[in-house]
A and B are shown apart, each in its own frame.
Chain A
């Protein structure tokens, strides 16, 4: 085994390569679309209000489930809000762009993993 490679003599190269990877990822179309969709969502009061109402009703129904039977009215309200959220164009765009961005991040992991012969993401996990 050779422990004296030039790269080992300069561990900063690894950080440099990582920052280059981050730079390319954060300038990708997927990342830009996600940031744009996120911004659109944050600027839309109706969409934010819808998400807040959904979170409130979800919490209420969860608490009711833990203490007994949830009210039918609240369950109906929850289902209705879930449909409204799923159909909201800005929320849809956000979800879609987030999925696309995650798909790119997964591709990056696959490429690194193929090169090193180990699942890179698993190595990075803190247990």
Chain B
């Protein structure tokens, strides 16, 4: 057995404090700040929200109808039209860009964490297991 000196071990409270410190720095990154700003802007954008509402209504309507009849070409075209309007909104595009930037940063951080800890960080924390 490889011995370890218990006096040199980091208490759990210190580990968790370093996690909080890390989160504080993460929150101050450009990617996180941009994401929060873009998300709030997206929520406040009336055209984006209205289009999203219409799109969901249409999808719900089609889902209910589709139980008894096939999806009509007119319905498919309407969904396509609403999706196009939605994804063309500047607020939506900014939100998705900001999300991609944030994910790229987090994934890079996660890769470093996984490699250093000798496990798949995202995998062991998957929902249903424990976290979030």
Contacts and interface: CB of A to CB of B under 8 A. Distances in A.
Contacts of A102: 119, 124
B109 A2 contact: no
Contacts of A18: 22, 109, 112-113
A110 B25 contact: no
A120 B24 CA distance: 13
B117 A25 contact: yes
A7 B29 contact: yes
Interface stretch (B13-21, B54-62, B68-76): B13-21
B32 interface: yes
Contact of A124 (B28, B109, B127): B109
A106 interface: yes
B109 to A, nearest CB: 6
Interface in A97-118: 102-116
Interface size class of A (residues with CB under 8 A): 35 or more
Residue picked from B6, B122, B125, most chain A C-beta under 10 Å = B125
B67 interface: no
Contacts of A120: 23, 26, 106
Interface string B90-128: 000000000000110011011111101101011111110
Interface in A21-35: 21-32, 35
Contacts of A108: 15-16, 19
Contact of B125 (A25, A109, A115): A109
A78 to B, nearest CB: 26
B28 A122 contact: no
A31 B8 CA distance: 12
Contacts of A36: 1-4
25 contacts: A1-B36, A14-B25, A14-B109, A17-B22, A20-B21, A24-B18, A27-B8, A29-B11, A32-B9, A35-B4, A102-B124, A105-B117, A105-B121, A105-B124, A105-B125, A106-B124, A109-B131, A110-B132, A115-B24, A116-B27, A119-B127, A119-B132, A121-B110, A122-B132, A124-B111
Interface of B: 1-4, 6, 8-12, 14-16, 18-30, 32-34, 36-37, 102-103, 106-107, 109-114, 116-117, 119, 121-127, 129-132
Interface of A: 1-3, 5, 7-8, 11, 13-18, 20-32, 35-36, 39-40, 102-116, 119-126
